[in-house]
Chains A and B, each alone.
Chain A
Amino acid sequence: MCSRAMTAVWEESAERDMMITIETDGTTGAAEVIIGGHDQNVLDHRKADIDSALKLLGSFADDHRVVPGAALTYLELSKKLRRRALDVWGPERLAILAFSTALSRIGMSLVKGFGDDPLKGLDMDRLEALEASGIKGEASVEPVSVPRTVMNTSSELAASILRIDDVISAGKLHESDSFGGGGGNVTVYTTPSCPWCSRVKSYLRSKGISFVEKDVSSDMAAAQEMYSISGQMGTPVTRIGSEVIVGFDQAKLDRLT
């Protein structure tokens, strides 16, 4: 019944697709960031990075204290924790020392990520020298919310995993095959010039869904296939299993993916 109603609306809608901009004097803080470029893949990645960067700035707005970038902070915290562990006896001390080791390992991984060898016995002085020599180009700072969230999430998660002593799962617990999500099951029929096709593709990518793209402007067989499953020639058409979606219909995409 729902789908009949949708079709009815579909046929009626001879409306133009438009972009509406509600202009305000700039004090509201509302804005649109537009990324231009030729390659949709690059654009999608860049969009995801900018979305993330905006969130990071949001957390900086909430708490505008900063700590030295990544490695330095974790190594410093590790050192302090090692000292504090001396006040505790028994197996708990071992656990606190283990926590401190984990923090220093994350610091070392970051150093590795900067392209420097994970030097053995790297100490604070050496790290400060690295910073000063501008191995990263410029001052490195991050909002205090970053290491706070990392430490909070990780320690809670590690504890809850350690608490589990029973795992029950429908299907196989240990699969040896690696990547590939639910890929192969989703096909998107597109033309290169169609903006809604890009919307569908970037939406699927944003949800981490892999899909096969068929360009109906160059592939006649794909065009025929699209016509036979959807009964029309407009793009985009998305096929998910046996379901077919014409156009960018976010609600339906959400429901089927």
Chain B
Amino acid sequence: MEDAYIDFLSLLKQNMERESGKDARKNNLAEALELKRLVETSFGPKGLKKMIDGAVVDKGSRILKAYGGKHPVQKMIVDSASQVEKEIGDATTASVLLTSFLLEEAKELIEQGVNPSAIISGYAKASGWAMEDLEGIAADADPTDMELVRDILKTSFGEKNDLGDDTLDVLSSLFLLKGEDFDPELIRVSTEKSHDKVGTRFVLGCRVDASPDTELERIDNPSILLVKGDLKPRKTKLDVEFRLENVESVRSAVKAEDSAMDHLSERIRSTGASLVLTTGEVDDRILQRMDREGIVMVPKVPEEELKRVSKAVGAPMLDPNDIERGYTVKVDAVVFESDDGCVGGVCGA
């Protein structure tokens, strides 16, 4: 026990700071309440905005993100708020405020001489009861009711965020398409800087930013295969040195490589795919062979986007070594549109 304590102390370097006991608790509470001040006035639909680093910030979650938290306890609160945002997309300010209020009330009790552990157990009991009562208040709602879906959006993203009627329409229509099976991960949000196309609209289908190896503009009813990794023949483990003693040895080396390419091409062809999306790179010689077969290859698709495609169309993401074990999925069509003037992620080079 004592040894562990000494080890623990030896971790403390000179430039580190340490607080313990009552001081630590008191300061932790003070730091936590500092955050409360920061977000308090931004709360609610008519909340005020803040200016951070010259940018106007309106939502609590963004204020917290920009601030980041200085003290370890503040960092805990900011982390947990961003977790709330990830889960339900709302109520980050509410959770920071409720945490602060709980701590403020606790601080008062501690000052009156109540033991912190009694407060912790009391809070646990209270939170359990509040949860029960919440179940009692909650009413079943109809997930196909357009007005209700709009009201939910308006309640959380009301006046201040000003989503606008067009956006409310788009979001509630997308929700009603699937109702209970609605999955926000299948929807990508993109921005378009434009003077004539102002407002929010949507297109159905899965969009991906990538560079296909094709001049085609559209393929109808393709079978798509999704691969996670590079499509290249495996490198030989040994460093083989080819001595160019005679033409024959060069020829056989080229032949060996060619047959490795042929083998991989054949494996891709045998899946029956007409469009292959992969997160990795594709060897140029494979591209040539696939081109001859009329199979369109799309290398370097961001993994996150391939995951979305996989989920949407129900095709598995396959390991390059295992493509035969998976299957392709037929979709209605695939359309290629160009992003003008940009090559490989750089514009106007």
Contact = CB atoms under 8 A, between A and B. Distances in A.
B208 A56 contact: no
A110 B47 CA distance: 9
A99 B149 contact: no
A36 to B, nearest CB: 4
Contacts of A197: 347
A37 interface: yes
Interface string B233-262: 000000000000000000000000000000
Given A61-B181, A109-B97, A158 B43 contact: no
Chain B interface size band reads 35 or more
Interface in A210-257: 210, 232-236, 246-250
Given A45-B58, A169-B17, A94 B122 contact: yes
B45 interface: yes
Contacts of B102: 98-99, 102, 154-155, 158
Contact of A149 (B17, B95, B203, B314): B95
A13 B232 CA distance: 16
Interface in B176-230: 177-195, 197-213, 224
Given A167-B27, A181-B53, A158 B106 contact: yes
Given A102-B105, A167-B73, A35 B342 contact: no
Interface centre among B17, B88, B104 (most CB of A within 10 A): B88
A18 interface: yes
B323 interface: no
A155 B199 contact: no
B85 interface: yes
A112 to B, nearest CB: 7
B122 A64 contact: no
Contact of A19 (B97, B126, B187, B337): B337
A99 B155 contact: no
Contact of B130 (A53, A77, A164, A210): A77
A126 interface: no
Given A76-B137, A113-B45, A92 B125 contact: yes
A240 B155 CA distance: 40
Given A19-B339, A180-B53, A52 B347 contact: no
Contact of B44 (A33, A110, A151, A236): A110
A84 to B, nearest CB: 5
Given A29-B181, A30-B206, A70 B94 contact: yes
Interface string A1-42: 000000001101111111111111110111111111110110
Contact of A195 (B89, B94, B137, B347): B347
Nearest to A153: B95
A245 B258 CA distance: 36
B333 A48 contact: no
Interface centre among B62, B135, B159, B348 (most CB of A within 10 A): B348
B146 interface: no
B332 interface: yes
Interface in B13-66: 13, 15-22, 24-25, 27-29, 31-32, 40, 43-47, 52-53, 55, 58-59, 61-62, 65-66
Contacts of A32: 187-190, 202-203, 205-207
B6 interface: no
A246 to B, nearest CB: 6
B17 A53 contact: no
B208 A157 contact: no
Contacts of B314: 28
Contacts of A148: 131, 134
Contacts of B208: 19-22
Given A17-B343, A38-B198, 15 more contacts: A10-B344, A31-B188, A43-B192, A56-B89, A64-B143, A81-B130, A96-B126, A109-B40, A137-B158, A143-B88, A143-B152, A144-B138, A161-B29, A164-B24, A169-B18
8 contacts: A31-B204, A55-B87, A56-B88, A61-B179, A106-B98, A164-B24, A235-B347, A235-B348
The 4 closest A-B pairs by CB, nearest first: A113-B44, A95-B122, A234-B349, A55-B89
